[in-house]
Amino acid sequence: MKQHTPQQLQVFLDIATEAALAAGAILQTYWGKLEQIEEKGRPGDLVTAADKAAEVEILKVLERHVPDHGILAEESGEQGNKQSQYLWAIDPLDGTTNYAHQYPIASVSIGLLIDGIPQVGAVYNPFRNELFRAAKGLGATCNRRPITVSSTSELSKSLLVTGFAYDRRETSDNNYAEFCYLTHLTQGVRRAGSASLDLCDVACGRLDGYWERGLSPWDITAGIVLLEEAGGKVTAYDQSPLIVNSGRLLATNGQIHASLSKELLQVPPLSTWASL
């Protein structure tokens, strides 16, 4: 794998930032003015004119700066140079359901994988004016100020966050049981509705840990870089190395990682709870 200099990664980070801010401006213009909201085939999996317009703006920025790179976009899929070592994973609106209800937990998420490894990330919530940025080896910031994970070392004193996949109604492979189980073992579990912002909230110490399944690379690539650069840890549920397209991850401040992994792996299936 080719090693990139800090200067090269900074250039990519600046490109991601430009695209995130441009898309965020689009989202602000549509805020509260949506005329049509569509479902993409599954109940609750929404798409709006704002998603589509923001993605177009991101693609314009990437085409201008890195036309030879590959792109994986939530709304328009895989495009560009499929042989490139560079793959931009972009979500023009992470938290569409929140956005459609004018609940201000939504963001633009732009991450860059180099040889399959998350290396650069920018996440922008235009409704709270928070811009999170990170690149491998360059640290993580929120509005240009350094951020770091929390120092919580006990699961019982932690505050966690999770999310529920769009197919949760159709599959038993959901995290309802985990949500209830961990609510009893911690100070609480939140569900905000934006995976990228969940990772950012762990990165800046507002939350101590996050787990979820049913995720796509565009949901988490940028947030992974932010969390790791802020001192956190990201793995599979069993603490093995994360595979970005596996659909699930465990992300924490590092100190509660082992204990949260242990508890996740021994949650009784929800179907058995009536007999407990």
- Could you tell me the two tokens for 110? 């732009």
Find residue 210's DSSP bridge partners: 161, 251
* Residue in 168, 166, 190 with CA at minimum distance from that of residue 179: 190
Q: What is the pLDDT of residues 205-218, one digit of tens each?
A: 999 999 999 999 99
Same structural domain, 113 and 204: no
275 lies in some domain: no
Find residue 47's DSSP bridge partners: 38
140 lies in some domain: yes
Strand order in the sheet with 77-80: 77-80, 70-73, 86-94, 107-114, 117-125, 130-135, 139-142, 145-146
137 lies in some domain: yes
Which pLDDT score is estimated for 181?
A: 93
* CATH (domain of 38): 3.30.540.10
Cβ(229)–Cβ(257) below 8 Å: no
Which range of residues forms the domain containing residue 116? 6-146
Structural domain total, the chain: 2
Same structural domain, 188 and 124: no
Same structural domain, 125 and 199: no
Residue type, 90: I
Q: What is the pLDDT along the chain (276 residues), one digit of tens a residue?
A: 667 999 999 999 999 999 999 999 999 999 988 766 665 555 445 568 888 999 999 999 999 999 999 999 998 999 999 999 999 999 999 999 999 999 999 999 999 999 999 999 999 999 999 999 999 999 999 999 999 999 999 999 999 999 987 655 555 567 888 999 999 999 999 999 999 999 999 999 999 999 999 999 999 999 999 999 999 999 999 999 999 999 999 999 999 999 999 999 998 776 666 555
Same structural domain, 176 and 80: no
d(CA 236, CA 248): 7
28 lies in some domain: yes
Domain boundary residue, one of 146, 167, 201: 146
CB atoms within 10 A of CB 238: 10
Same structural domain, 131 and 182: no
Same structural domain, 59 and 89: yes
Place of tokens 């994988």: 113
d(CA 199, CA 242): 15
Same structural domain, 202 and 252: yes
255 lies in some domain: yes
Same structural domain, 86 and 168: no
Domain boundary residue, one of 146, 165, 184: 146
132 lies in some domain: yes
210 lies in some domain: yes
d(CA 152, CA 156): 9
Which pLDDT score is estimated for 33?
A: 83
Same structural domain, 38 and 104: yes
Residue type, 94: D
Structural element, H or E, at residue 70: strand 70-73
Same structural domain, 138 and 165: no
Same structural domain, 61 and 182: no
* Residue in 1, 16, 255 with CA at minimum distance from that of residue 135: 16
86 lies in some domain: yes
* CATH (domain of 208): 3.40.190.80
Same structural domain, 77 and 134: yes
Domain boundary residue, one of 93, 124, 146: 146
CB atoms within 10 A of CB 8: 15
